[in-house]
Structure 1
Amino acid sequence: MKKLFIHIFTVVTLISFTQCEKVLDKRDLTAIPEQAVWNDIALATAYVNQLYVDNMPTWPTNASGDSDESGGGGAYMLGQLTIDGVDYWPYNQIRNINVLLKNLGSGSLTKSQQDPLKGQALFLRAWQYFQLVSRYGGVPLVLEPQEITADLLVSRSKTSECIAQIIKDLDESASLLPVKWDNIDAGRITKGAVLAFKARVLLHYASEQFNPTQLPERWTTAYAATKAAKEALEAAGHALFADFGKLWYTEGNANPEIILVTRFINPGRTHNRDACTRPLDEAQNCTGANYPTISMVEAFPMKNGLSIKDPNSGYDATAFWLNRDPRFAATVAYNGSLWELSGKTGRTQWTFLGSQQTGNTNTGFYCRKAIFEGYKPNETELSGTDWIEIRFAEVLMNFAEAANEIGNPAEALEVLKAIRKRAGIEAGANGLYGLKANMSKTEMRQAILLERQIEFAFEGKRSADMRRRRLYESELNGTKRKGYQINLIAFNGSKNDFFDAFAKGTVDLNKNYTTYFRNDVRDLDLTQSINFKPEYYFFAIPRTHLEKNANLKQTNGWDGGSFDPLQ
């Protein structure tokens, strides 16, 4: 076997996940012989920490453009993807995981030291294989670190075989991991996180992307997994965080909603999602991400839980922000809203044309979810806000969806009520939080998907939901996403005169918005309508990988491909 040398990602590796004994104080870690790693718990832990850095997901800053949440998506949304358009091939990362799984027991570490390290590695391998399978269907299953003497030309395994291996890895992982880590290790993968991810995998596998004929046994399996995850996490103390708007700012074990998280810290490991999402004059070196569309804004119900289309909802189209589901104000910044960025007390966000020297949102809205107001502009590209990949809310919603599909709508309804209650929606006289009584399976499914759209807005879940349930063609094709161009029509369009009047308190936008502004609807998809193609539910294997491995078959629907991702 080729001799392994490990290069330590010093700050992130040792700060992000553990602050125990400083490995750097022990020896020169520029290059460490492999066997030393499996004889030293600190070095083995550092190796696993690097696996976290290499494999765990980060903020899905641009994912909203792949759905109806915001504009963007380019070739993906407009039907112009090429064979090489989606290239996700993490076999180098998988090899590093396999190195640990093969060699962890070869040193002097005790079983109690090995087990949690192995459990974390097994989860990360399952994670990466599901990222591959969700994109391409079946892929080569490589479960040993390949060497030059090995058969490197591994064929694609069936999708069903890949799913079976993912579940096998997750089951073993769950058996090796603790229910909870100490605060110093908060953020490591727990048994509950493994069960939650297993439930997500099986929910996807039961959905139309993988299961177009809707075999009922897959939903039965998904229901069992989602129920097991829910019950295990509840027993471990997990629950919905009390305040939806603040759940991103309470980290570690103090936040019971966190199930699977990627930790960030400044200095150390940071991200620029805050910069990319905030207005340009309150950010630095990034802009243009996550501008909410009109349809996203209109998806939020009223505080009484009723749709804005319901004549009894009390919706006022000229002051659309009034009396909405409180998640609206925690997610969307609109023209004239209070948004105290950079710690500026009383700061108002303006999105009308010409309101800012440095540019405007092209939809009339900004996303404010998980945007830390206290950052100064030069701090926004070094954000330390953790990314919560799986929240307890998702575990509940996955359970509700599976329950509905197997004929248990009452269980699904209880979840929707709990989600809406936490959001701050009023229960109403019937205690249904604005939900329709006695919904059919189809109506409940639609209610669940709508609730997911609202609850998980700008968390990268909407595009995943639309792919797994094959909704792009029925819901978006032939349409164009839209936003507002907002024009100041009062004071002869003089923004300075308007700002003066607003500062004096003579402008009341809640009552007289249309006196001052005109919201003109504009298309975000300028050249053509959305044209998501059916072959995009399973992407092509890029040519660079086909050229390196003659045994790889191309996916059905792509360049004469013969690999069936549904098997």
Structure 2
Amino acid sequence: MKYIKTYKLTALLALLVTLGSCNDFLEVEDLDEIDISTVYKTEEDLTLALNNLYFTLPILDIEDALFNQDADQAYIVPYFWTDDAIHRNIANSAGTQGSDYNWGEGTRSLRTFYRYQDIADINFFLEALPEASFDTESNRERFAAEARFFRAWIYETMILAYGDVPLVTNTIVPTENPTRTPRLEVFEFIISELDEIDDQLPLSYTGADNGRITKGAVLALKSRAYLNALGWHSNPSALYAGAEAACEEIITSNTYALVDGIDGFKEQFTPASDLVSPETILSTIYVEGLNVSRFALQVSPRDVYKGPEGSGNNQRRPGFTSDFIEEVQTINGLFPIDDPTYDPANPWVNRDPRLEATVRLPLDEYLGTNGVDNDIFLPHPDYGDTRDRVQGSNNNPTGYGFKKYTDYYMVNNIQGDADLKVIRYSEVLLMYAEALAGQGRDAEALPYLDEVRDRVGMPKYADIGLPTVTRGSTGNQMIDAILLERRYEFAGEGPQRWFDIWRYKLGSQVIGTVYGIPDDVNLPGDLVGPKYNSSDLTIYQRVWNEDYYLLPLFTNYLDANENLVQNPGY
């Protein structure tokens, strides 16, 4: 099993991190020479190694730059494995994003969660920990708990993506070729690990440790694990009950809270919320000079302000689909097509406020390149010679851009400095509602669903009644409403929609041809007329295959380990 290493020496020889101030949590320490026989011996060594494990968390990036260095360990956020978004380079993106659903065992992005180099680092760390000398003995247990969290995190995503995977919990030699462990056994290992470590971590940190793994992060991951197993586990009642218990413990701890209003929502995607927001349960901490984000560069219109030190053209790579845009409710809690007050000539008026906060919409104003005057986003081809129109080969293909994690206060928009909020409190509230609804306790679930809606000024379903979801329905009206809310709340920021489609097997209902803005330039919110599509529509006709609920094992892994067996259909 050649892709499993007993340790990753290069990680120690590179830029490792030490505890810093409470403002930036991690500072960079340059280590020029390390002898492997002398490391992992002291608390300082283990601190360096543990902080390095934080880089196993997802990064704020459309296309992970790590592909250029170590494609096996790149971390792609699957924005485009859903019905809500698409990448502009769909014709050739199977190698880096897989957003055309033309999948096979050679599709590079589909190996993004098969992370045995990270597992090897963690196992090596845990085996070195008992013999290392510690000045603060109480840190030994906490260090182990944090490392075990990262291992559980990686395995949880692996079993969602690949099903059976080798369960490796100790260091092994490169010639070992373990077989795939049954999915259920790996799942039970994940839950048992999280059960054991949740009381070994604090509810919160202060000072230099602010931002480390907390008990809340452990419980939130546990809830995700229970719910993500719904797509394959034989006992959904036990899964819903497990998720309920984990979320209830978070909620009753009174450690977290939503920040009021749509401005509170928007703030979650700016540095203003970093390490201080009561919504943040788990985040990937920005480290100056080390894990800067190219996100704003990747998603923004060409003429947006780039900062006083900005350079180069913005890339406009992703776009939301018309399916997502047209299913975002009006302020009356109705789908636009069902609301008699909806005006297709002014479609962005009186919509869920999260639409404007999430999507770069046609006719949006934004700060222009000079940092003084406003520009207007004009993606329609009939607006004239604009570099943001959908017909341009270097623009997003739908005319609806990504907007979260973009602002006009960065020094350089190729060096974004916001933390990626990996798990927010609103997700816990919605997971709790889902767990209750899955057990038939709709009346108990409703207040938690409505709490998320009420924060941004949307009407409570307790007052207007649940929506009828006809596209992508689970057959349970309450769960449908919760999944719809998850689309609104988390669009363009993480893998939540991917989770939802996979665990409720919605692929055949929601994955299909992608369309963009309406053809009618005078009706930017036209719901019934023709819509823009690529001149090569074939590549936008995404076709769902039931085999896709398991990703293929990358061909290099199969070649390296004769004991691995490919997933069905590949």
TM-score range relative to shorter protein: 0.7 to 0.9
In 2, distance between residues paired with 1:513 and 1:229? Answer: 46
Point out the structure with max Rg over C-alpha. Answer: 1
* CA offset digits 1:376-397 (Å, max 9, x no partner): 6xx2211111111111011111
CA contact (8 A) 2:302 2:315 kept: yes
CA contact (8 A) 1:240 1:256 kept: yes
In 2, distance between residues paired with 1:431 and 1:410? Answer: 9
In 2, distance between residues paired with 1:297 and 1:396? Answer: 24
Q: Could you say if the C-alpha distance between residues 432 and 355 of structure 1 is closer, same or farther in structure 2, counting changes exceeding 3 Å?
A: farther
In 2, distance between residues paired with 1:295 and 1:16? Answer: 44
Equivalent residue, structure 1, for 2:555: 543
SS at 1:256's partner residue? coil
Equivalent residue, structure 2, for 1:161: 185
Superposed displacement of residue 411, structure 1: 2.3
2:248 is the alignment partner of 1:227: yes
2:193 is the alignment partner of 1:174: no
Equivalent residue, structure 2, for 1:464: 499
CA contact (8 A) 2:294 2:416 kept: yes
Equivalent residue, structure 2, for 1:356: 386
Correspondence for 2:458 among 400, 414, 425:
425
Correspondence for 1:521 among 528, 531, 542:
531
* CA offset digits 1:520-551 (Å, max 9, x no partner): 61225711522111111112222322222222
In 1, distance between residues paired with 2:216 and 2:205? Answer: 11
CA contact (8 A) 1:306 1:435 kept: no
Superposed displacement of residue 163, structure 1: 0.5
In 1, distance between residues paired with 2:368 and 2:208? Answer: 31
Tell me the matched-pair count: 513
Superposed displacement of residue 158, structure 1: 0.6
Equivalent residue, structure 1, for 2:145: 119
Equivalent residue, structure 2, for 1:474: 509
In 1, distance between residues paired with 2:550 and 2:561? Answer: 19
* CA offset digits 1:254-313 (Å, max 9, x no partner): 20111110011433320111111001233636523331221111121112222212245x
Q: Could you say if the C-alpha distance between residues 526 and 17 of structure 1 is closer, same or farther in structure 2, counting changes exceeding 3 Å?
A: farther
Bigger drift between 59-68 and 530-539 goes to 59-68
Correspondence for 1:152 among 159, 164, 176:
176
Alignment of 1:237-276 (within 5 A): 237-240=256-259, 242=261, 243-249=264-270, 250-276=272-298
Alignment of 1:90-489 (within 5 A): 90-109=115-134, 110-147=136-173, 152-205=176-229, 207-208=230-231, 210-211=232-233, 215-232=236-253, 235-240=254-259, 242=261, 243-249=264-270, 250-282=272-304, 284=312, 287-312=315-340, 314-340=341-367, 343-344=371-372, 346-353=374-381, 354-357=384-387, 360-375=395-410, 379-426=412-459, 432=463, 435=466, 442-459=476-493, 460-476=495-511, 479-484=512-517
CA contact (8 A) 2:515 2:531 kept: yes
* Root-mean-square deviation over aligned CA pairs: 3.2
Superposed displacement of residue 355, structure 1: 4.6
In 2, distance between residues paired with 1:140 and 1:185? Answer: 33
Q: Could you say if the C-alpha distance between residues 545 and 16 of structure 1 is closer, same or farther in structure 2, counting changes exceeding 3 Å?
A: farther
Equivalent residue, structure 2, for 1:530: 542
Code of the aligned partner of 2:168? V
Code of the aligned partner of 1:38? K
Q: Could you say if the C-alpha distance between residues 361 and 81 of structure 1 is closer, same or farther in structure 2, counting changes exceeding 3 Å?
A: closer
Name structure 1 gaps, 5 residues minimum.
489-511, 559-567
SS at 1:339's partner residue? strand
CA contact (8 A) 1:305 1:435 kept: no
CA contact (8 A) 2:61 2:294 kept: no
Superposed displacement of residue 10, structure 1: 3.4
In 1, distance between residues paired with 2:353 and 2:258? Answer: 19
In 1, distance between residues paired with 2:83 and 2:547? Answer: 19
In 2, distance between residues paired with 1:337 and 1:19? Answer: 33
SS at 1:319's partner residue? coil
Name structure 2 gaps, 5 residues minimum.
64-77, 307-311
Q: Could you say if the C-alpha distance between residues 546 and 384 of structure 1 is closer, same or farther in structure 2, counting changes exceeding 3 Å?
A: same
CA contact (8 A) 1:263 1:387 kept: yes
CA contact (8 A) 1:364 1:486 kept: no
* CA offset digits 1:427-468 (Å, max 9, x no partner): 5xx86366459x997111111111111111112321221122
Code of the aligned partner of 1:456? F
Query: How much identity, in percent, do the aligned residues show?
Result: 27
In 2, distance between residues paired with 1:64 and 1:237? Answer: 26
Bigger drift between 292-301 and 157-166 goes to 292-301
Equivalent residue, structure 2, for 1:44: 46
SS at 2:319's partner residue? coil
Superposed displacement of residue 77, structure 1: 5.5
In 1, distance between residues paired with 2:222 and 2:104? Answer: 31
In 2, distance between residues paired with 1:420 and 1:269? Answer: 33
2:54 is the alignment partner of 1:30: no
Q: Could you say if the C-alpha distance between residues 173 and 132 of structure 1 is closer, same or farther in structure 2, counting changes exceeding 3 Å?
A: same
Q: Could you say if the C-alpha distance between residues 125 and 16 of structure 1 is closer, same or farther in structure 2, counting changes exceeding 3 Å?
A: farther
In 1, distance between residues paired with 2:513 and 2:210? Answer: 43
Q: Could you say if the C-alpha distance between residues 391 and 215 of structure 1 is closer, same or farther in structure 2, counting changes exceeding 3 Å?
A: closer
Equivalent residue, structure 2, for 1:502: none
* CA offset digits 1:80-118 (Å, max 9, x no partner): 211232224321111111111111110221430212211
Which is richer in helix? 1
Code of the aligned partner of 2:485? E
Superposed displacement of residue 322, structure 1: 0.7
SS at 2:267's partner residue? helix
TM normalised by structure 1 equals: 0.82
Q: Could you say if the C-alpha distance between residues 92 and 4 of structure 1 is closer, same or farther in structure 2, counting changes exceeding 3 Å?
A: closer
SS at 2:553's partner residue? coil
Bigger drift between 450-459 and 358-367 goes to 358-367
Q: Could you say if the C-alpha distance between residues 424 and 290 of structure 1 is closer, same or farther in structure 2, counting changes exceeding 3 Å?
A: farther
Superposed displacement of residue 239, structure 1: 3.6
In 1, distance between residues paired with 2:490 and 2:431? Answer: 12
In 1, distance between residues paired with 2:498 and 2:562? Answer: 32
In 2, distance between residues paired with 1:426 and 1:21? Answer: 41
